[in-house]
Amino acid sequence: MRRRGFLKKLPMAAGASFMLNNLPLSTFAKSSPFQRLAATSNNDKVLILIQLHGGNDGLNTVIPIDQYAEYYQLRPNLAIPENGKRKYITLDSTLPASDQVGLHPDLYHMKDLYDQGKMNIVQNVAYENVNGSHFRSRDIWFMGGDYDEYLPSGWMGRYLDHQYPGYPESYPSTEMPDPLAIEVGNGVSLAFHRNNGIPAAISIQNPEQFYDLINSVGGAPPESIANAHYGQELQWIMDIEEKSNQYAGRLKEVYEKGSNSQKVTYPDLYPLNAPSGRIKNRLAPQLKMIARLLSGGVKTKIFLARLGGFDTHAEQVESYDATMGTHAALLYHISSAMKAFQDDLKELGLEERVMTMTFSEFGRRAYSNGSYGSDHGTAAPMFVFGKNVKPGVTGTNADLSNLNNGNLVHQFDYRQVFTAAVVDWMQADSDAVNATLFGNWVDSRLPIVGNGITGTDEEFMEKRNFLEDCYPNPVKDRTVFSFRISSKSIVKLELLDVQGKVIATILNEQREEGLHHVTYGLSSLRAGTYLYRIHTKSMKTTKKLVKK
């Protein structure tokens, strides 16, 4: 085998990769700190990371409504329109005027999740002195360091290596039969490397000989090289190869035991026009598999999924319609796949346990280019999903009149988000957080995780969906019913007697998001006590009315 071919296969061997349901998986075998967490963890929380590979265009994902004129002037050939059938989706009219944002029109599934209180948008996330290299920037996000640091380990690996010292030698076991972390793909990311122990990637001088030696599963290295400088590394690789078959069998067993809800359909294709390579949803099957593994009882704690194609230098949009094209299809894939995944988790009784967050190595420049695309930039939004997230928008719109060499000025450091995941979701102690190198970010971590007790934030829901007391009440001739809804919905407003029998239907029609007032005459109604009830997509409430 030639060097190039060997190097392509090496990450698969080092990361214990195999196929499950036609998807490549990389698992962390017996030497991984994730195995130690699985054996000792005192909670059943699961963290899912979705990498938007290539650098997502945040300005066309979350549009600053208050600066629409500036936004359009910066990118007239990319800008999402503010009017028409495919205009941006107003996210939340209760936000301050300066924080009003619009979603790309193909993110309507995300709008639904937001209205359910299951999504937080973190505005303008990056790091100081963003590097324009895809590889370097991904490394920075994975290693959890500054722009000028070159760490050989990742933030998850360091945290778990400190939290669970020492390597159990007899895994998988009855107590922990599963790999603790699963990366959907053909390699192990820097995020999972650790300071001590042999890293997932190794350096060798003779790749052909090395590959021949690990081509047979397990066993000890030949005596002639066992004491060589790479003997320990070779033994580690061979041990992982041996364990991978056990993990593959176990995951197959769990997968077959699990199921997805029959009430949920995961999206397959983008329903509108897009380049052929972007029509198929590549994220949905990854999330569907994760949900099924969790349903089957897998104890894996961390999953990493990916969706590629975000390096949109050219043909990001169609020349005839800025709302269509490559980027639109990708955003639809994220939005629709996440909605199906959350619905699946809910039906399976798992949504209390899972939090998901997206990230991308950088955003795109505020200025569009002449190829209907956008070039490497800096800050971009992150999305956090789950029943126990703190819903809303964290942060404010970037100031488009205050750009840094054509780039957005970031508001939050990416470690403020990841530290919240480690501390508030995974419930790390202070020593472990310090070992992760996130200790300096604990006090400034973002409030994106709820209290974990009540689930969906009731205050968030009640502020956006409510039925007011009718006025006047008591009523003589007519009264005004007022209500607010957070999204377009069929609204049914009914008048009932005290036994709950419907006397009249006051309203039964579709209404847009916002505050509504309906005047209704009650002069023919007998004096007494009555009820009025509203039923929308997000609300079902009853109140009392007195007729004079």
The 3-class secondary structure across 413-445, one letter per residue, is EHHHHHHHHHHHHCCCCHHHHHHHCCHHHCCCC
Helix boundaries (H) for 296-442: 326-348, 414-420, 430-436
pLDDT of residue 229: 56
Query: Would you say 312 and 326 are in contact if contact means Cβ atoms under 8 Å apart?
Result: yes
Count of alpha carbons within 13 angstroms of residue 374, beta-carbon side: 33
> pLDDT at residue 41 above 70?
no
pLDDT of residue 268: 95
Phi, psi of 286 (to 5 degrees): -65, -45
More confident residue, 16 or 436: 436
DSSP state of 254: H
Q: List pLDDT tens digits, range 415-434.
A: 999 999 999 998 988 888 99
Average pLDDT value for residue range 88-100: 95
pLDDT of residue 238: 62
Query: Would you say 211 and 1 are in contact if contact means Cβ atoms under 8 Å apart?
Result: yes
- What is the C-alpha to C-alpha distance for residues 71 and 63, in angstroms, rounded to an integer? 8
Count of alpha carbons within 13 angstroms of residue 240, beta-carbon side: 29
- What is the C-alpha to C-alpha distance for residues 307 and 293, in angstroms, rounded to an integer? 20
More confident residue, 290 or 34: 290
> pLDDT at residue 140 above 60?
yes
DSSP state of 190: G
What is the average pLDDT value for the chain, to the nearest integer? 84
Average pLDDT value for residue range 487-496: 95
Torsion of CA 417, 419, 425, 426, to 10 degrees: 140
Average pLDDT value for residue range 72-81: 98
What SS3 state is found at 483?
strand
Query: How many other CB atoms sit within 10 Å of the CB of residue 548?
Result: 12
Average pLDDT value for residue range 45-67: 96
> pLDDT at residue 212 above 70?
no
pLDDT of residue 42: 60
Nearest 5°: CA angle at 181, between 161 and 281?
A: 145
Confidence of residue 32 (pLDDT cuts 50, 70, 90): very low
Predicted model pTM? 0.86
Residue 529 identity? T
Q: List pLDDT tens digits, range 235-265.
A: 656 665 665 666 677 778 888 899 999 999 9
- What is the C-alpha to C-alpha distance for residues 45 and 421, in angstroms, rounded to an integer? 11
Helix boundaries (H) for 167-220: 207-214
pLDDT of residue 169: 52
> pLDDT at residue 544 above 80?
yes
Poorest-pLDDT segment among 116-130, 169-183, 424-438, 505-519: 169-183
| Total residues belonging to the chain | 548
> pLDDT at residue 404 above 70?
yes
Confidence of residue 157 (pLDDT cuts 50, 70, 90): confident
Confidence of residue 385 (pLDDT cuts 50, 70, 90): very high
More confident residue, 298 or 453: 298
Domains of the chain, CATH where assigned: 3-458 (3.40.720), 465-547 (2.60.40.2550)
> pLDDT at residue 478 above 60?
yes
Average pLDDT value for residue range 209-215: 35
> pLDDT at residue 483 above 90?
yes
- Percent of the chain having pLDDT more than 90? 65
Q: List pLDDT tens digits, range 280-333.
A: 999 999 999 999 999 999 988 888 899 999 999 999 999 999 999 999 999 999
pLDDT of residue 188: 66
pLDDT of residue 532: 97
pLDDT of residue 214: 34
The residues, ordered by sequence, that sit 6+ positions from 414 with a Cβ below 8 Å of its Cβ are: 125, 126, 127, 141, 359, 382
Nearest-Å Rg of the Cα atoms of the chain is 27
pLDDT of residue 3: 38
Confidence of residue 273 (pLDDT cuts 50, 70, 90): confident
Average pLDDT value for residue range 89-113: 96
